[in-house]
Copies of this chain bind each other. A is one copy, B any other.
């Protein structure tokens, strides 16, 4: 008998790797890692767990990975709807950011976002925003796993005066937190249209020296692509390729308007695409060619984008709508079946962030980032196929318990790592200020 920290006995386990669904199995966790997924009888004879939880109406699955957001913007949730991207940015978002965004705003906003994400089963996110040091502090407190983007823009903001200042602040943040086991880092130039060639070249240099991925918005709108063709004679992706930014560490966000040659380029050089279906729909940006990307073997992850253009930090909604949108966008109802949607929401996200060696599936040796989903409610009955239900029927409201690296961060639908009342009180204060 091996002594271990935790044994979970759910009705079903959806490990993502391998595909499909196990029943009659237990999940064994020790020292923060998954030790085994074994039949109950094997668990009985081989493991003595210090803690054990029966989950007779639950599916266990890996935590969802939100591969693109601006977590602090949760304080702007629903502040301006029904506008196209450029108007929305230039008239509604950028002026509010210039006036209100501070380390305090970011800290409070990220605490709110991570409370929402954790309670909804998202255990890891890829962030791009100002004051990432405040984001890091909030994440360390709530226990969520995060990849922090070292944001870079060519224009000044209260956070930084010029590209070098953005980079210096980002690198200092990384130095301060680089030993935190739940944090990782990317270079995060905002977009091809807000960052010029000279800055891109510096970013590519840092990415190579420090072995960091590059995470950027790209080809989000038709206008962006048209302007890139006009100014540079190249699509945004082709321009980034010429600048040396593409490759296996390239995390392209949105990719709504990709030319066939852009898809070839991503397929050939190993870039990842973060699909943000709700944001793309809400801003009227278009439908990303997800079935074509998947058919070419390109890794596709899912992101919520910020709460100002969504208006949720809800990986379940993103997963279901990604499946539905791919079907209607292609006219082919067979694309993005449930297993594929679940893969994009978990292991696809982990791969995009370069973390698939440690998270994204319930495989022995990986970190125990695990979500328990209650499928006993009236709205989830009957259940012929748990995979189908996870995508099309379940939602974040079905998540009852969440572990990250074996630590229980949500217990019985309550956040275990931070005071929800205090987080809500700060959100209400910002609501009054921003009104």
The 6 lowest CB-CB distance pairs between A and B, nearest first, are A382-B431, A397-B397, A284-B333, A281-B324, A281-B328, A381-B427
Is the Cβ of B430 less than 8 Å from the Cβ of A382? yes
Is the Cβ of B116 less than 8 Å from the Cβ of A379? yes
Min C-beta distance of A119 to chain B, whole Å:
7
Given known A-B contacts A312-B393, A428-B382, A334 and B82 have beta carbons under 8 A apart: yes
Mask of A374-396 contacts with B, CB within 8 angstroms, 1/0: 00101101111100110011011
In the bound complex, what is the Cα–Cα distance between A315 and B348 (angstroms)?
30
Mask of A320-355 contacts with B, CB within 8 angstroms, 1/0: 010111011011111101100000000000000000
Interface size on A, residues (CB 8 A): 67
In the bound complex, what is the Cα–Cα distance between A383 and B286 (angstroms)?
27
Given known A-B contacts A284-B328, A286-B331, A327-B284, A378 and B312 have beta carbons under 8 A apart: no
From A77, which residue of chain B is reached at the shortest CB distance? B382
In the bound complex, what is the Cα–Cα distance between A93 and B202 (angstroms)?
59
Give the residue of B278, B284, B428 whose beta carbon is less than 8 angstroms from that of A331: B284
Given known A-B contacts A78-B392, A337-B81, A115 and B286 have beta carbons under 8 A apart: no
Decide if A435 is an interface residue (CB 8 Å cutoff): yes
Is the Cβ of A431 less than 8 Å from the Cβ of B330? no
Min C-beta distance of A80 to chain B, whole Å:
9
Is the Cβ of A327 less than 8 Å from the Cβ of B281? yes
Return 29 A-B CB contacts under 8 Å, by A number: A77-B382, A77-B383, A78-B383, A78-B393, A81-B337, A82-B327, A82-B338, A83-B334, A84-B334, A112-B381, A119-B379, A281-B325, A281-B328, A282-B324, A284-B328, A284-B333, A310-B392, A311-B389, A312-B379, A312-B393, A313-B379, A314-B379, A321-B324, A325-B328, A378-B415, A378-B420, A378-B423, A381-B431, A397-B397
